[in-house]
Amino acid sequence: MNISTQAVQIGLEWDTRTGAVSVPIYQTATFRHPGLGQSTGYDYSRSGNPTRQSLEDGMARLDNGARGFAYSSGMAAIANLLLLFRSGDHLVVTEDLYGGTCRLFDKVFNQFGLTFSYVDTSDVEAVRAALTPRTRAVFAESLTNPLLKFADIPALSTLCRDRDLLLIVDNTFLTPYLLRPLDLGADIAVYSASKYLAGHNDTIAGLVVVKDAELAERVYYHQNAAGAVLGPQDSWLVMRGIKTLGVRMDRQQENAAKIAGWLKNHPAIAKVYYPGLEDHPGHALVKRDSRGFGAMIAFEVATHALVEQVLLKTRLISFAESLGGVESLITFPEVQTHADIPLELRARLGINNTLLRLSVGIEDNNDLIEDLNQALEA
């Protein structure tokens, strides 16, 4: 089936007893045993819950993986994956990644002996040069946050496979609808499901899909042991969001392409980052590997004074963190989402005091352009 059809059908097969089209919310902490030494397959909701499992199974199918796992947030999902490693292990990671991930690496897991090297994961040779005898994995964002660089996952996969390293891909910006990292050679795909997958800015969740069944068992062990699982109500919300993933992303991409072209020609805009533009460095690669260019845009305004003007003068576009929902959101990465990245690294990457990040929603694109225009010219 086409992935948009798979997304709509998520959970539909679950309740064979009643035929309920919507997966029931099993709001229970524990399950009664039918007899001594017997189980229905569910014992305690931390270890497994039918609503959560419906989401996990459906996500595994969407990403062509052996098994899926749902967590209380995207950061909880990444933290759980780091439990696969030991003190002294080294990971090569995307340099312009989400600031919260950087904080988790450098301020939390670094104190337990894990070390991280930040490189441009769109440059395979840079990744190769950063590998050490202690390297155990490469952690890349398929499309980086906020500068929208694109990772060559097949090339990174070959590099990792030759050295027996794990390749973990944060695919939040593209989702399985546009890109399936496991099909391109990644071992693990991870998502902030709060974003495009849930799609309505109404829940916090994280998802992981693992390609290999044996590795998936290790991930499950840590999920159950650490316990940062997604509750049944939020699991249901994510499934409901995934059902409209295809139509939402089609509309959001259409809007983003039009807005990016308009921004590029506006005199108050110094630079536009959008992989759908032909002059974007990763345009050809995204076109080769992905079904689309996504709906995130980063752009630099001509002066720092315009930053506050745009953030406070937009009427339709909300000045808020997060992304991927049906409502358009705009944020200032330097002081919000990426404040935890060291100043010198932000400066080198171009996360500066004129850079704004726009998450394009499903509103009419002419209304969004008019909103941006009146804010820039206020």
- The residue annotated as part of the active site, out of 71, 98, 177, 196, is 98
CA distance 358 to 21: 35
- The residue annotated as part of the active site, out of 136, 195, 211, 248, is 195
- The residue annotated as part of the active site, out of 46, 103, 128, 271, is 46
Residue from 5, 27, 24 nearest 15 by CA: 24
Let me know: does 33 contact 39? Beta carbons within 8 Å: yes
107 counts as catalytic: no
CA dihedral 341, 347, 348, 352 (to 10 degrees): 100
46 counts as catalytic: yes
357 counts as catalytic: no
Let me know: does 148 contact 128? Beta carbons within 8 Å: no
CA dihedral 22, 28, 29, 32 (to 10 degrees): -110
The residue assigned the tokens 């002059």 is 279
- The residue annotated as part of the active site, out of 63, 152, 170, 289, is 170
170 counts as catalytic: yes
Q: How far is CA 208 from the centre of its chain?
A: 10
Residue from 353, 310, 348, 349 nearest 330 by CA: 310
Helices (H), the chain: 3-8, 50-62, 74-82, 99-103, 124-130, 153-162, 175-178, 213-226, 232-242, 245-264, 283-289, 305-313, 343-349, 365-376
CA distance 176 to 245: 10
CA distance 246 to 248: 5
Q: Which residues are catalytic?
A: 46, 98, 170, 195
